[in-house]
Amino acid sequence: MTTILEIALISIVTASTIANFFGIPGNVLIALGSLFYAISTGFTEFSFGFVLTIFGVMLLFEALEFLLISFSAQKYGSSKWGVAGAIVGGVLGAISGAFFTPVMGGIVGSFIGVFLGTFTVEFIRNSSLKGGLKAAYGAFLGRIGGLSIKIIGAVTLSIMVIIRL
């Protein structure tokens, strides 16, 4: 039974790392998969402290991603509403892009969504094409950095889980 659980956990970790590219919260799924594995094995393989560490690392990287997008967008003139537009746009872009092209569509869609979400909100708020484009460019750069941070987090979590197995 433990072997089946280990294979399932490794599958979840692998799929969740890839899922980050599509706007799916893969790091959260890695943490939840680790918790499920720990509960299923009676915390003999993964201690409660280890699971808490996994969740702590996951929260750290999720916060870093959000802060990077927020900081970058605001540095280029975006308001907090523009940052919210970037986040909503990124999620909607990833989902809609995945329908057109399952692999690359989610990735491209998330980048386009971040850009358009910020631009739309900032253009409506300020009626400035130049200001909206500048803020959207900052959010786009933040998305690139945020995705990089998220992938580093997923690899970190994956290594932690696989070494413990």
The pLDDT value recorded for residue 156 is 94
Q: At what angle do helices 129-164 and 26-40 cross, to 10 degrees?
A: 20
pLDDT digits (tens, 9 = 90+) for 89-100: 988 888 888 788
Of 93 and 104, the structure prediction assigns the larger pLDDT to: 93
The pLDDT value recorded for residue 65 is 85
What are the distances in angstroms from CA 74 to CA 40, 49, 114, 130, 148?
Answer: 44, 37, 13, 15, 19
One DSSP character per residue, 74-118 reads HHTT--HHHHHHHHHHHHHHHHHHHHHSTTHHHHHHHHHHHHHHH
Q: What is the average pLDDT across 67-96? A: 88
pLDDT digits (tens, 9 = 90+) for 25-42: 889 999 999 999 999 989
> What is the C-alpha separation between 77 and 40, in angstroms, rounded?
48
Q: What is the average pLDDT across 43-67? A: 92
pLDDT digits (tens, 9 = 90+) for 126-150: 888 888 899 999 999 998 998 899 8
Contact 115, 89 (CB under 8 A): yes
The pLDDT value recorded for residue 103 is 67
Assign 115 a pLDDT band (cuts: 50, 70, 90).
very high
The pLDDT value recorded for residue 6 is 86
Fill in the amino acid letter for 152.
I
The pLDDT value recorded for residue 107 is 80
Q: Report which of 163, 152, 111 is spatially closest to residue 26, judged by C-alpha positions.
A: 152
> What is the C-alpha separation between 161 and 163, in angstroms, rounded?
6
Assign 4 a pLDDT band (cuts: 50, 70, 90).
confident
